[in-house]
Amino acid sequence: MPDSYIVYLEDVTIDTKTQVFTAIQLIYGIPSLIMMISTFILISTRKTYANSFYCLVRFDLLTNTCVYLNTWIAIRLEMHPDMVFLLRTIESFFPGSLTIFKYIPYFFFHMHFWTSALLTAHRLSSVLIIHRYEFFWSSWRCRTIIFLTICICSHLPKYLWHGWLYEVYIVNDRLICINFPSALKQGYNVVAFFSIIYACTNITMGLLTAFLVAVKYENSLANKSNTNVSRKLTKISMAYCIAYTSEVMWSVLNSANSYFNFLPDFIVEINTNLLVFASDAFTLSLPYILLIFDSNIKRDLFRKKQESGTGTLVVISN
């Protein structure tokens, strides 16, 4: 395996399959991006969503928006020769930035676990430390420590392989991408290893939370509204956990295929596009999960009026 090889991005050719995949990605991607931004603004400006759970939701929405936008800079645009001039412009004004942008998907891969796990941890703490969890999650000091810890932990796995996976430069007035196959294979293995750990941890936390919530409110004397609220929040966390699992499982399959070559050739040929679809399945899912389980989000986004005679309004942010 060569230590490195150079790809001249202006010379990349595009095929029909890539064009079709890009069209599909735009069809669902643009409305989903608008949904994420709209939901973030809504949650950030309404007092209804002032509690700690929605603070974590805002963090997830902001992270996922950055992830989605970065995939276009780091992965998608370079597949289209007509769009390479945008990448070249970025590199011209900010030399070395494209090398960092191409690393960021690996950074966000790890951060995705933490953003997903935080929602589940919030629901778990609401059962285990019922009288203290809101104070903990609402504290700015705790939030700052959690954020810094997540950033550090998301970056540390990079040191399990040597150097960059890709380096992008402008040389002789041409935009080039230097690929490092050995480092890339190591990077895939690191991602696969953590994918298994993350998936098992997230699912275990989710199932444990669902079980404890069910036990807590079975035969509980708590009012029905609070019981429904807790169960809905748990469903949001569980659904988000399942969406995350769909992303990490493709990473495991992709790494395993590098050793055993069990995937059909036509799958391998479109591997990058499939990886993008797997990432989108999780990255863009949260607004739709909120719409399904959170009646307040649905009402406020689409300005639906409450039907009369429905009884007490359930505000799931309590």
Local mean pLDDT, 10-residue blocks, the chain (318 residues): 84 88 94 95 89 90 95 92 93 95 94 90 85 88 93 94 92 93 87 86 84 70 60 81 80 75 79 82 92 88 54 41
Whether 230 contacts 213, CB under 8 Å: yes
Whether 23 contacts 14, CB under 8 Å: no
| pTM across the whole model | 0.86
Start-to-end Cα distance in the chain: 57
Residue with tokens 């931004």: 37
Question: Could you tell me the fold of the domain covering 5-302?
Answer: Rhopdopsin 7-helix transmembrane proteins (1.20.1070)
pLDDT of amino acid 199: 82
Helix residue ranges, H only, the chain: 16-45, 52-71, 84-93, 97-128, 133-138, 140-155, 181-217, 224-260, 265-269, 271-283, 286-293, 295-302
pLDDT of amino acid 306: 46
pLDDT of amino acid 313: 41
CA nearest neighbour of 262 among 252, 276, 273:
252
